[in-house]
Structure 1
Amino acid sequence: MATTGGTPPTPTEHEDRIDDDGGAPAKWKLVGPGLVVAATGVGAADMVATLVAGSRFGYGLLWAVVLGVVLKIILVEGVGRFTLATGRTIFEGWRSLGRWTTWYFGPYIMIWGFVYGATAMSSAALPLAAVFPVLPLWAWAIAMGLLGFVMVWFGKYATFEKITAVLVGLMFITVVGLAVIALPNIPAMFTGLLPRIPDGGVLYTLALAGGVGGTITLAAYGYWLREKGWYTPKWMRVMRIDNSMAYVMTGIFVVAMLIVGAEVVRSAGVSISAGDEGLLDLYGVLKDEYGDVVGTGFLVGFWAASFSSILGVWNGVSLMFADFWGNMRGKESGHPDTRVGGKYFRFYVLWLTFPPMILFALGQPIGLILAYGVLGSLFMPFLAVTLLGLLNGKRIPARWANKPSTNIALGITALLFLVLGGQQLVKALAPLLGG
């Protein structure tokens, strides 16, 4: 089996412990890239959406959270399976589907990175500005961007993975601990597993089903597998365990936020703001209800969720850009210029960090935000539809091609994201349509 272009990664110390059929991992410490992709995808926006859904509908949309976890497991498993089965990166796969994929992905990754860079830095700065108001928000945002830049610029994948695991631990302990303190209504939670859409809950249902854990970072999973040293089909079972375990943890985390919304925010009778500021509203509620220790502890989890997204995007999406640009320059995937520390990788780390700081002074340029919204609304449908093309037919060995049941599940996933993406597209175009 050929590996991803260029020099294949050096086999890790664990490879001889996995049989050719993808036997069970020797140690749980093999679990890694899935946790990274899941942690990166759960940011402040997902936390607020879940919190608001819980405060408005109680446990009525718990089933949508579970559905969202299942959909992301399907998508990320597809990305990982294509990478391991073919030895090709996801961008190489997209190119095989036609030039249209490159014409979409190129502008998208540049505009997305510019806007997301500012958003991610601001999100990580919010809890720090609340606890340490000695600096304004924009100063904390710049500090977060610079910290992430240094850690990714000089760090190796193994270090990055360990730091992410610590941040996930902080997220998990603080948010799940808060849910336990809130004393969830267990019978109501079981009732919430029955699929139903409450009045006025269509958009929240779609958002929860589609927004649990990431967008473009889902496609970065294959690159993290390569950096980990998992690069042939013998790692297939390990990858599936890694992916499933990570998204089960994500599901527990998001359910915990739903519990907090249903038990704490709803009973307090307060309204949570849209956007990241909603988490600061929750901080005030928790402080009044449980005291400073619990309130500040939640801000630690808020910061960990936001900063893990900075690290994940700065590393993973930079790898995606490096592969894209390397291919455009005629260099095969896996060339040193396209790997961690390569010049294309470092260009995008710079792009994510420094140009977005201009937005702190300019505010939100309408045209740029509009393009970001339009292209962003199309990414998840793009990923789901292209995976259907890549995981069937001649582009993947027959042994690892989709089974009919997988095609049905992936088709449902693609349809859901097309609907959700269409709604986001209408929202993005509303300024032009006079909405």
Structure 2
Amino acid sequence: MVESKPISTTSDDAPAAPPPTSFLGYLMSFGPGIVIALSWVGTGDLVDNSVAGGNYGYALLWVLPLSLVFRFLFVNSLAKYPLYNVQRDSSIVRGFARTHPVFGWLMLISFVLYTHLLLAFSLSGVGVALHGLFGGLPTFWWSVIGAVSVFAVTFRGAYRVLEGTFKVVLAVMVAAFVVGVVMVGVNWPELVRGFAFELPPQSGLFDSSLVASSLVLATLGSMANLFYPQFLREKGWVTPAYRRVQQYDLLFGSVVVLFLGVCVWALGAEVLSTGEGVDEASDIAGALGTAIGPIGSHLFYLGLLGAAWTTVAGSLFALSKMSVEALHTVRPGRRERVGDDPRRDVFYKVVVVWGLAAIVWSSPAAPGFVVLVVISHVLTSPFLLIIVVGLIAMLNKRRIMGDNVNTWKENLALVVVALLVSAAAVQGFAEVLGF
């Protein structure tokens, strides 16, 4: 007996648009890929890429495209669950719980912890950017203002507002970084040589192997990879009919990440390779200001603001809803009382507040911004390993995926991702412990 397919709807209870059939239709329908791209291109990517470019020129550039290839394969595998699972379940969190009940608890704990950890340095980035643009108030109070603006957008959990806002921010970020790169110029032969696999000697605060490890973890996205299936659910893309547009959507988002990453890297390589290294975000802005005038500092801070704010808003939006989903998998009775919409559970609002409480890490007594970025990416690696192991198990169970279980090629890609993250985590922890 063939099961009937559910009607695809968005989180706002409006019918999802049918799959596009033309090139323009594909472009107009893109959304989850843009939201996930700007959730990925946060302060971590911007500062890590600037640190790598400033301290090592183009020598570590090979890490960026290599990691993005595996990220695409990884996240594309994650997207299979809401589209193909035989349970007709759009929540990948429930899929993990079906693989083994212990995953429900692991996901709940991981989501709650990661929400606070991610926002700890992302909110700091918002404050640094606003202070650099407008001055006046101390950085901490600018972070508070940024947190309030994120609260206003995410508290009600409306995806359409989030997607529309992110499209505007993307346009601003692209314009800012393109103008910066054009004004600075690019050494194209050196950029091409940057795709050679080399680890140069240490320059500045961080060893090159630690920077490379942090770049791998930042680019693979850690727990942020799980956001994409959530955004597909919010968009209403929850049947196999949306597979092709989903893949193009994710490819577009990956290209956005690569483009912005290379732009930031080029800015760092061209204006920060002075031999003095990069220790603070202000070093980047100051060098750009010296190289191309006051507009350079403003371009950097504008890009930083877009990266930091979208990371906070997108991550908080997704993690709060996924935390509720995880709670419902370990406490099914709660879901029966409040319904399927995570926004109706008070725990959604609790997680939003818990995440924004990370504003305390923006206080003057907290560690520096760049230190928080690099070390936080290393410390989140165990969360990503949990996801990879669970995903491999889930996508190979016929009772969950039916005839759409993973092929050997898809499994091989996930195994390589797991090995990369494991190697980066071991190296990163070793460097941090000796830091």
TM-score of the pair, normalised by structure 1: 0.86
Give the match for residue 194 of structure 2. Answer: 192
Deviations 1:105-138 (A, max 9, x none): 3332223223433432221011212233321122
Kindly report which structure 2 residues correspond to 1:398-413, keeping only aligned pairs within 5 A, or say none: 399-413=403-417
Give the match for residue 41 of structure 1. Answer: 40
Give the match for residue 355 of structure 2. Answer: 352
* Distance (whole Å) between structure 2 residues aligned to residue 241 and residue 407 of structure 1: 21
Secondary structure, counterpart of 1:220 in structure 2: helix
Do the aligned partners of residues 423 and 66 (structure 1) sit closer, same or farther apart at CA in structure 2, a change above 3 Å counting? Answer: same
* Distance (whole Å) between structure 1 residues aligned to residue 53 and residue 29 of structure 2: 35
Deviations 1:40-97 (A, max 9, x none): 1221122121112122332222221101111211121111112211133221122123
Give the match for residue 18 of structure 2. Answer: 15
The equivalent position to 2:268 in structure 1, one of 261, 273, 282, is 261
* Distance (whole Å) between structure 1 residues aligned to residue 32 and residue 151 of structure 2: 20
Superposition deviation, residue 317 in structure 1:
0.8
Secondary structure, counterpart of 2:348 in structure 1: helix
The sequence identity of aligned pairs, in percent, is 24
Superposition deviation, residue 374 in structure 1:
8.5
5+ residue gaps, structure 2: 203-207
The answer (yes or no) to whether the contact 1:53–1:61 under 8 Å persists in 2 is yes
5+ residue gaps, structure 1: none
Kindly report which structure 2 residues correspond to 1:23-422, keeping only aligned pairs within 5 A, or say none: 26-86=25-85, 87-88=88-89, 89-154=91-156, 156-199=158-201, 201-212=208-219, 214-266=221-273, 268-273=274-279, 278-330=280-332, 331=334, 336=339, 338-340=341-343, 342-353=345-356, 355-359=357-361, 363=365, 376-397=380-401, 399-422=403-426
Give structure 1 regions of 4+ aligned residues with deviation exceeding 6 angstroms. Answer: 2-9, 371-375
Superposition deviation, residue 272 in structure 1:
0.8
Do the aligned partners of residues 51 and 357 (structure 1) sit closer, same or farther apart at CA in structure 2, a change above 3 Å counting? Answer: closer
Do the aligned partners of residues 181 and 357 (structure 1) sit closer, same or farther apart at CA in structure 2, a change above 3 Å counting? Answer: closer
The answer (yes or no) to whether the contact 1:322–1:338 under 8 Å persists in 2 is no
* Distance (whole Å) between structure 2 residues aligned to residue 282 and residue 361 of structure 1: 21
Give the match for residue 427 of structure 2. Answer: 423
* Distance (whole Å) between structure 1 residues aligned to residue 14 and residue 363 of structure 2: 47
Deviations 1:377-431 (A, max 9, x none): 2012222222211222325435433222222222111100112223344566x3x
The residue type equivalent to 2:171 in the other structure is G
The answer (yes or no) to whether the contact 1:157–1:227 under 8 Å persists in 2 is yes
Give the paired residue count.
417
The residue type equivalent to 1:205 in the other structure is A
* Distance (whole Å) between structure 2 residues aligned to residue 8 and residue 262 of structure 1: 43
Secondary structure, counterpart of 1:207 in structure 2: helix
Q: What is the alpha-carbon root mean square deviation over aligned residues?
A: 3.1
* Distance (whole Å) between structure 1 residues aligned to residue 59 and residue 146 of structure 2: 36
The answer (yes or no) to whether the contact 2:169–2:306 under 8 Å persists in 1 is yes
Do the aligned partners of residues 11 and 225 (structure 1) sit closer, same or farther apart at CA in structure 2, a change above 3 Å counting? Answer: same
